[in-house]
Amino acid sequence: MAAHKNSHPSQYQNATKLLFVPDLLGYWLTGQMVCERTFASTSQFYNPVTRDWAYDLLEKLNIRTDLFAELVDPGTIHGEVEGMPLVKVGSHDTASAFAAAPVKDLSATAVLSSGTWSLLGAELDQPIISDDACKANFTNEVGVCDTIRFLKNLSGLWVIQELRRVWAEKGIHYSWNEMDSLAEKAPPFSCFIDPSHPDFTPPGDMEQRVIEQCRRIGQAYPENHGQVIRSLLEGLAFLYAKTLNTMEGLTGKSFKQLCVVGGGAKNKTLNTFTANAIGRRVITGPKEATAVGNLIIQMKSLSHIKSLGQGREIIFHSFAQEVESYLPKDKANWADAYQKWYEVTKQ
């Protein structure tokens, strides 16, 4: 914003309000300019302690504070459209996804929003702002119903999606189930890969990048597609374990289980590996968690349900076919492999 002020001064000077995309859609529908809190909290304009815009920071950067609209909570009625109330939901997709976790009380449950990218965190009453949290790259995003989503952005099934895409371009076509089957048949812990390494961020040939990372570290590299897939899925599971351990240290809380929501909840192989790597139970929730969490907040706002906990209970029963439980197995071997992965990938 500070740069935009200098590069496009006329736009900056003539602007009336800054609206994020969900708020812009709401304005077009109702004529009201407000900013929903969960989305605003991801903008770096927001102070999660004061629960208001970070006016002191904005003033230091000489940014117009009058550009920032009134903040409203998810669940606020935001005007009407053709006689129907328009509800401001958790408009940040992860806020709605966390709301759909099918666990009535999340105090001892961590949440993983799993898809192309992974967001692993916990639902807290207050933000955690410390040097250690900053160093570990955790963020305090606002959740629904006066909660904080203390979380970290991680690599996700992007690496597997890119494997499949590039192989298809080479004429090798696998279904998702076939890729999982190949991974399950491959020997465990043949090499240790960190899927969060910057090498795996851009689009491209993930198989070659796995091989290159193995060579750079000085370990054997996969000899077939099953080993490539397995090394990346194991790497994701170990990454989740590392992040969960770090989060327990930062929060002082003990998380007894991990709830996986979103499209990645369908990947039974990854869920199995994750339970083994973290040494705790993994439960899965709706694959369309963002849409379901959106609906729950609307139901609460319109008094169809009394609480978020009641909504989560409804989700548990309504999506029973998607709620599965994975218990850790072979704990000793996985714990030993995690230590090896940790030592290898921190180089």
CA distance 236 to 82: 47
CA distance 55 to 112: 32
**What's the burial of 54, exposed, middle or buried (CB within 10 Å: 0-12/13-18/19+)?**
buried
- 52, 66, 93, 105: which one is catalytic? 93
**What's the burial of 56, exposed, middle or buried (CB within 10 Å: 0-12/13-18/19+)?**
exposed
DSSP string, 257-324: EEEEESGGGG-HHHHHHHHHHHTSEEEE--TTHHHHHHHHHHHHHTTSSS-HHHHHHHHHHHTTTT--
Nearest to 282 by CA among 101, 146, 145, 160: 101
- Active-site residue 131, yes or no? no
- What is the C-alpha end-to-end distance of the chain, expressed in Å? 37
Nearest to 270 by CA among 303, 225, 240, 250: 240
User: CB–CB of 224/181 below 8 Å?
Assistant: no
Helix (H, G, I), strand (E, B) or coil at 325: strand
Q: Which residues are catalytic?
A: 93
